[in-house]
Amino acid sequence: MTALVANAQLPPWPTDLYIDGGGTWKARVPVTFSNNTGKDVKGYPTEVKIQKGNPLEGYKPGQFRVVDDEGLQLKFTAIGKSGDVLDSTPLQAGDSLHIPVSCENKSSVTYFIYYDNDKAWISPDSLGRGLATSIKNGNFEDVLGTLPIGWQLIMGDSAHRGEISKDRPFEGKYCLKLEADPEAEPTWFKVAPPPISLMPGAECTITVQIRGENVTGGGAGWFIHVGNSSNSQIINNVHSVGTGTFDWKELKFTFKVPENADILHTGPTLFGTGKAWFDNFTFTSNLKASMPTATFGKPQTNKLTEIGRTKHDEWYGADKRVWYAPWKKTAPKYLYRIPIRITNPSDVRLNNVLATIDLTDAVRNKSRKNAILTFRGAKVPTTKIGNSILVEVSCGPRTTLVYYMYTTDITEDELKPETEDIKHALGSDIPSDQILVESSNRADIVKFTEILEGAGNLIKNPSFEDVRDGKPDYWEFSGEKFEATGVEFGVGKPGGFGNNHAFINIPADAPNDWIGWRQSVKVKTGRRYIYGGWLASENIDCSAMIHVHHRDANGAVAPSGYGSAGPAIHKTASWTPIFGMAEIQPGTETLQIHLTMNGHGKLMHDGIFIAETIAGKTEPLEAFPAEENDFAIWQVNPVVKVFREDLPRDNTNFGRIQYDGKDAKLKSTFRIALAQNEEEPMQIAVRSATEHENVSIAIEGLDEANIKATIGVIGYVPVDHKSSYYGSKHEDWIQLVPGKQGNTDGWAGWWPDPIKPVNQFSLKPNQTQPLWLSFRTTKDSKPGYYPATILLKTDEYTWSIPVAIYVWNFALPEVTTFPALYDIRWNSRWDRPGMTTREARRDMLRFYREKKICPDHILVSPEFKYDKNTGKATADFTEFDKEAAFYFDELKFPVAYMSGFYIFGWAAPPRATFGEQPFEGEYPWANDEPRHTLRPEYIKAYQAKLKLFMDHCREKGWDKKFVLYISDEPHYSHQYVKDQMKALCKMIKEVEPDLPIFSSTWGHCKDWDGYISLWGAGHYGCFPEAEIIERQKQGDKFWFTTDGQMCTDTPFCAIERLLPHYCFKYNVDAYEFWGATWLTYDPWKYGWHAFIKQSSAPHIKPSWTRYPAGDGYLIYPGKDFSDYKPVTSIRLEAARDGVDDHQYLTMLKQRSDDKNAMALLEEAQKLVSMPSPGGRYSTRILPDPDQLHIIRLRIGEFLAVEQ
């Protein structure tokens, strides 16, 4: 039942709802849920019917945001009358929302649905299919398309299909059919109804009719998962009616619902191959379940007064509307601006509060040096703190102030690399989650001093100048558990903001405890506060950050808990600014700042700060608009990402053409150079003041040149938040959002990445469109100069671009020997119509070969068997040999991991082999149980399998091409992980002493010296260069391991291009990346990843993790194009070019007797260094991308002359 009632007291209007798209939600409606179900519910999917006249009618549910009574955003699902899930289709009467409700029995809660924001991005997350109280359409007679109404195909693909069928139903016109192809791998694909609400303790019965044809494997049957919102599989049963061919059989079974369960997931199964039909499905229960009821309140509008927004003709510093062009006499001082909204949603005026603006969001890839902040046409003073700027504002109630950050293109002097002390720290237990620790030179100390002593700072004695009896006034010193006896503490000199700083010096023998200084300040509910200060350390053995505790009126920890500002400092660190944000939720009365650490050594603090703040929210960047007839085409370094807002700029390394109408005012030739048997890209940007639809792209003049050209149009994907590794321990029904600033030099917005295989595009006014053209030579292409023309055409206009192609007189090898490994991770998005999964995967391998990257493993594993009585392993290598021959002999890939020999990951115990467990005792073994001794039965089984495999590969000549990947990112902070690794390596070496044993350790675990023979090291310094060299002297080999580095949201394709340079410089044999095809969303729609649940070990409760945007994939599915082939990206093209660069460097090194060659090689190697900020900071590892372009040209010209 759904009705309208009067509002209760309304909570503050949130300003940070998920992916607002630069807009605001103009309305919200309260929904009160009353729970009279006879049970407490937690995250219970509750149906909310939309009646005619409901305020949500006509709005897209994907743009709704649902917020619970604790201020948490929730996942939800909108279901149409036909049973379809809705997101972009406006809601209509008769549709329903399914919202997770948490409420005690015989009580109620009120949630809010926010709507009417047409700029909001469609949320990719949903609750699932909602919850039903009974089965509908169990006889499959109501049909929509190929499926019964209300039923959904799950995990289907081209080899696993589910659909409605008229083929001999048990009753009626229709039945349900599942079909798996003869070569399909067994999966739990299904066509399932929505989950069903259950009553704890109920007796339930399922009946269904099933028939089969040529069914193999686990057979045809019906599954049940009985559980709750936190654990859906308290009961996990599959009831099979058998295999083979059989006529209709009735399957009937009964189960009792556990007391802690209230949800049933159920449906048909075909775990194997063949065909199975299902009909007359019924479900009965002796206890009827019910749902909470929903009652709508009156909608509320969000009426904000906006102040400060200006039109383009009010551009700061521009006397007239002139687009920058060399033939025009005047140009605006600032070419770009970014609107920044600062909103006070409350009913109380805010006076002299600090607003915080993320500097990367506000300036992006433009000039920081020339950036200024303005409000209502006047320049505003700011203070820089780390990567943020602070500005003092006063803002009336329910008001938005619009500021503008004006800037220019980045200047020459800003392209020079910064001198900085580069440090990394672990952001979580995941070794690849490396955070760049920002250096202290990123703060405006002079300006900060002014606000430190200002009225806005709530901290008393922030710079420790007021001292009594050796202790700073207003600060309490203590431990959390102990009295901190023996700890030296007080004030020291000099001070950064006066004469003093505070310090603690904890001796090495002191017990572990949180020891240090504390101070509490009063805060207000619904407000946001910035807190932080400066830290320095000497020989600390832990990480140090600034922490805050949210405390209630009694001084106890409030429900909001704790917060920390980072990144942390470690060991010995110079003065470093560290700042964070705290949101004050109901129940918090004071914010207590903790200048503490749980370790030993000396920690110092100064300039401590807490102030109320408002977060500035950036809108999309705006470029200065063009005059009516302006049209520009310019060549861009292919490493540089082109954004829709980019304007043409002078660059002597690349060509540029600008038109005034149809008249070319500036025209220069676009140039590329390449070797024989090479592919080289040309990136072109096009921008117009007016719209041009259906612009075609063609290349003329290459018919006789033996040069093949391909054309593509670069597409854009949205990224919701700056990349990092994000974690959460929230329940499944909570809408998970990134919870910290991020670790990249990118920003939220639209990013160029996929290269669409099309030769036509439409050009919107004042939006830049990048194009991608690739030119490929063969070994038989003749050296020389080839003129060509690129033509852009519409019905009215033709724009011609002269191109000069230089083919050098040397060839790159036919077979690439440098391995750039990218794992293939398959799901149904990669399936191809008319192809089996195996055929589609083979075609993906061909695509890898074309792009000069290497897969990780052979697609088919041998079928091993083991006789425990004799200790003998046997295997069927038939299908494996076919795929290995295709992989090694036909496609010429240089290396592969050994499928079936991986042993453990992270902090998990080793996998069993042929059912033999690695250790005595009970799985998963306690952390303190010794793991340095493997069971003899385990050793015997694993070694038998390993020797059989390697003997077979030796016969085939493949043995030197295999690497045994023993462990992914082992957590060697645990002693048991160190012990088990040593025992496992010893076991392997006993039978295959020369087999490379690889592990992506990132850093150096010295306990494993002499055990691991192929280290997977981080390329940016977490495995120190000196230690790499030392291990290489001992005979160890190295690959660079690069997970988390190739994110989409960084301005250059730098790390993709430079990794082979790192390998070459540091004598590293290869690099590996954990995937080119790992997808969690449709990457065309969402450029970021879903949160996934994972655990580092079986004894650790799984939690949510989200990986950086673009991490794990550089290839896009081709489902929207006629041939369905994989689609490349600008990142993948950069990776391919990097492999070619490695060959250039290798050929140059072969001229070791030539001083000029060695001087050029030395110059090329200066492009990369260790330590470095890491791949997610492309503008800092490659400040001037043109240097890479110039070095490549110089090497090519040198090699051509030498030939």
Q: Is 479 helix (H, G, I), strand (E, B) or coil?
A: coil
Q: Which residue has the higher pLDDT, 141 or 386?
A: 141
Helix axes 1054-1065, 1130-1149, angle to 10 degrees: 20
Give 1113's contacts (C-beta < 8 A, 6+ positions apart): 1075, 1076, 1077, 1078, 1079, 1083
Q: Which CATH class is domain 143-289?
A: mainly beta
Mean predicted lDDT score pLDDT of the chain: 91
- The CATH superfamily holding the domain 628-720+745-811 is Immunoglobulins (2.60.40.10)
Which pair of structure tokens corresponds to residue 19? 């992916």
Q: Please tell me the distance from the alpha carbon of residue 194 to that of residue 409, in angstroms, as a whole number.
A: 53
Which pair of structure tokens corresponds to residue 529? 């506060």
Residue 207's closest CA among 285, 282, 284, 286? 282
Look at the domain 305-415 and name its fold.
Immunoglobulin-like (2.60.40)
pLDDT digits (tens, 9 = 90+) for 360-399: 899 999 999 999 999 999 999 998 876 788 898 999 999 9
Residue 9 has pLDDT above 60, yes or no: no
Q: Which residue has the higher pLDDT, 107 or 740?
A: 107
Using 50, 70 and 90 to split pLDDT, how confident is the model at 3? very low
* β-sheet bridge partners, residue 78: 86, 97
Most confident of 225-229, 613-617, 1009-1013: 1009-1013
- Note whether 4-126+295-301 and 143-289 share their fold: no
- pLDDT, residue 194, reads 86
Which pair of structure tokens corresponds to residue 809? 């007189």
* β-sheet bridge partners, residue 191: 153
- Backbone phi, psi, residue 352, to 5°: 55, 45
Q: Please tell me the distance from the alpha carbon of residue 1005 to that of residue 973, in angstroms, as a whole number.
A: 9
pLDDT digits (tens, 9 = 90+) for 480-518: 887 778 899 999 999 888 899 999 999 999 988 999 999
**Contact indicator for 989, 1010 with CB cutoff of 8 Å:** no
Q: Please tell me the distance from the alpha carbon of residue 176 to that of residue 162, in angstroms, as a whole number.
A: 7
Q: Is 748 helix (H, G, I), strand (E, B) or coil?
A: coil
Cβ-count burial 286-320 (b if 16+ within 10 Å, e if not)? eeebebbbbbbbebbebebeeebebeeeebbebee
pLDDT digits (tens, 9 = 90+) for 1080-1090: 999 999 999 99
The mean pLDDT of 1044-1067, rounded to a whole number, is 97
The mean pLDDT of 1092-1102, rounded to a whole number, is 87
The mean pLDDT of 752-765, rounded to a whole number, is 97
Residue 1001's closest CA among 980, 983, 1023, 1025? 1023
Using 50, 70 and 90 to split pLDDT, how confident is the model at 417? low
- Backbone phi, psi, residue 912, to 5°: -70, 155
At residue 1016, what is the residue type? G
DSSP-derived letter for residue 854 is: B
- pLDDT, residue 512, reads 86
Q: Please tell me the distance from the alpha carbon of residue 254 to that of residue 197, in angstroms, as a whole number.
A: 16
Which pair of structure tokens corresponds to residue 1071? 């690099």
**Contact indicator for 756, 720 with CB cutoff of 8 Å:** no
- pLDDT, residue 1165, reads 97
Strand pairing category for 27-35 and 300-301: antiparallel
Residue 183's closest CA among 274, 245, 277? 274
Q: Is 425 helix (H, G, I), strand (E, B) or coil?
A: strand
Q: Please tell me the distance from the alpha carbon of residue 370 to that of residue 646, in angstroms, as a whole number.
A: 17
Q: What is the CATH number of domain 820-1196?
A: 3.20.20
Host H or E run for residue 161: strand 160-165
Token look-up 């992506």 returns 1000
Token look-up 């023979």 returns 1013
* Among the ranges given (156-165, 595-604, 1069-1078, 1108-1117), the one the predictor scored with the smallest mean pLDDT: 156-165
- pLDDT, residue 7, reads 41
3-state secondary structure 1001-1023: EECCCHHHECCECEEEECCCCCC
Using 50, 70 and 90 to split pLDDT, how confident is the model at 1102? confident
| Burial class of residue 1095, CB neighbours in 10 A (0-12, 13-18, 19+) | middle
Which pair of structure tokens corresponds to residue 798? 């033709």
Helix axes 936-956, 975-991, angle to 10 degrees: 50
**Contact indicator for 126, 76 with CB cutoff of 8 Å:** yes
Residue 725's closest CA among 433, 1084, 972, 990? 433
3-state secondary structure 614-673: EECEECCCEECCCCCCEEEEEEECCCECCCCCCCCCCCCCCCEEEEECCEEEEECCEEEE
Give 633's contacts (C-beta < 8 A, 6+ positions apart): 656, 657, 658, 684, 685, 686, 792, 799, 801
Which pair of structure tokens corresponds to residue 295? 């009652």
Give the largest Cα separation in the chain, rounded.
Answer: 94
**Contact indicator for 97, 78 with CB cutoff of 8 Å:** yes
CA dihedral 731→735→741→747, nearest 10 degrees, is: 150
Using 50, 70 and 90 to split pLDDT, how confident is the model at 439? very low
494 preceded by a cis bond (ω within 30 of 0): yes
Residue 280 has pLDDT above 50, yes or no: yes
Q: Please tell me the distance from the alpha carbon of residue 1148 to that of residue 1151, in angstroms, as a whole number.
A: 6
The domain made up of 4-126+295-301 is a member of CATH 2.60.40.1180: yes
How far is C-alpha 851 from the chain's CA centre?
23
DSSP-derived letter for residue 640 is: B
- pLDDT, residue 126, reads 86
- pLDDT, residue 312, reads 82
How far is C-alpha 1168 from the chain's CA centre?
25
- pLDDT, residue 159, reads 79
**Contact indicator for 1183, 415 with CB cutoff of 8 Å:** yes
Which pair of structure tokens corresponds to residue 263? 């949800």
Strand spans (E) along 184-335: 190-192, 196-197, 203-227, 235-256, 263-270, 274-285, 293-297, 300-301, 305-307
Q: Is 948 helix (H, G, I), strand (E, B) or coil?
A: helix
Residue 737's closest CA among 67, 90, 225? 67
pTM of the predicted model, to two decimals? 0.88
Residue 884 CB neighbour total at 10 angstroms: 22
Q: Please tell me the distance from the alpha carbon of residue 266 to that of residue 269, in angstroms, as a whole number.
A: 10
Using 50, 70 and 90 to split pLDDT, how confident is the model at 353? confident
Give 575's contacts (C-beta < 8 A, 6+ positions apart): 440, 496, 534, 535, 536, 604, 606
Q: Please tell me the distance from the alpha carbon of residue 1016 to that of residue 1107, in angstroms, as a whole number.
A: 20
Strand pairing category for 749-756 and 707-719: antiparallel
Give 164's contacts (C-beta < 8 A, 6+ positions apart): 140, 143, 146, 147, 148, 174, 175, 176, 177
Strand spans (E) along 1074-1169: 1092-1094, 1103-1106, 1116-1118, 1124-1127
Residue 792 has pLDDT above 90, yes or no: yes
Q: Which residue has the higher pLDDT, 1021 or 560?
A: 1021
Give 834's contacts (C-beta < 8 A, 6+ positions apart): none
DSSP-derived letter for residue 119 is: T
Residue 326 has pLDDT above 70, yes or no: no
How far is C-alpha 582 from the chain's CA centre?
24
Architecture in CATH of 424-618: Sandwich (2.60)
Helix axes 1185-1202, 1155-1165, angle to 10 degrees: 160
Residue boundaries of the structural domains of the chain: 4-126+295-301, 143-289, 305-415, 424-618, 628-720+745-811, 820-1196
Which pair of structure tokens corresponds to residue 1001? 């350790």
- Backbone phi, psi, residue 585, to 5°: -95, 165
